[in-house]
Amino acid sequence: MAQSAQTGTAQVPGTASGDEVFRPGEIVGVEGRPGEWELMEPGPGPDVWTVEAARLEDRVSEQAAVSALRRLADAPHVRRGDLVMQSYPEQERAAVVGAVFRLGQWVAEKSYTLPGGDACRTMDSVDRLEVVTPQQLAAAIRLDVAHGAHQGRIVQAVVSSRAGQFRVVCRCAPGAGEVCRDGRKVTWCHSLDSARALWDWHVSQPAPVDGTS
């Protein structure tokens, strides 16, 4: 293991000046080389990283010394391999981040599996993405509810300032969707009990509503 010339103590692989730790997937600058670079893996030698040009095409791979790596002031907050969701409270689908690059703004390739098993790849602005964990997704409540002609769901938000809150949707009539009161786009409930109460109110109406009443 490499030794720090200043302290004589073991230096952690992937560090600069004995204390700055870099991780695979980070986007950095490399002294003496134009553009931005993605850290792929440490090595092939001590205090060296394999880096890949962080761009959409021609992603050449090179080696760079740890001492040449420079953090970016506007580095993206997501990295390759992160599990992410779009930062809208209604969002339910998560995707895995692939390459991250700049197209005027930071953009991430994402991949996810469709219900039928097919893989889908898309690109999205990093500004619209939040990192989540499998545990967060597994804990989010997705409850099917039904009453007569009403077929709906109670869904708990995973991301945004609404995380942990609930919305109610129903397919009781053409154009139906979010169940809401007072003309609001979505009625967000702070507990499962209040979401169930909203559902009960919805199905007690004299006729199917269109999700905007």
Of the candidates 100, 110, 105, 97, the one whose C-alpha atom is nearest the C-alpha of residue 59 is 100
Show the 3-state SS of the chain.
CCECCCCCCECCCCEECCCEECCCCCEEEECCEEEEEEEEEECCCCCEEEEEECCCCCCCEEEEEHHHEEECCCCCCCCCCCEEEECCCCCCCCEEEEEEEECCCEEEEEEEECCCCCEEEEEEEHHHEEECCHHHHHHCCEEEEEECCEEEEEEECCCCCCCCCEEEEECCCCCCCECCCCCCCCCCECCHHHHHHHHHHHHCCCCCCCCCC
pLDDT at position 2 is 36
Res 131 pLDDT > 90: yes
pLDDT at position 175 is 62
Kindly report whether the global pTM for this prediction surpasses the value 0.75: yes
Of the ranges 68-77, 177-186, 203-212, the best mean pLDDT one = 68-77
pLDDT at position 87 is 96
- Mean pLDDT score across all residues of the chain: 86
Of the ranges 10-24, 68-82, 181-195, the best mean pLDDT one = 68-82
Percent pLDDT > 70 in the chain is 84
pLDDT at position 10 is 36
- Give the Cα separation of 79 and 83 in Å (integer): 9
- Give the Cα separation of 62 and 103 in Å (integer): 22
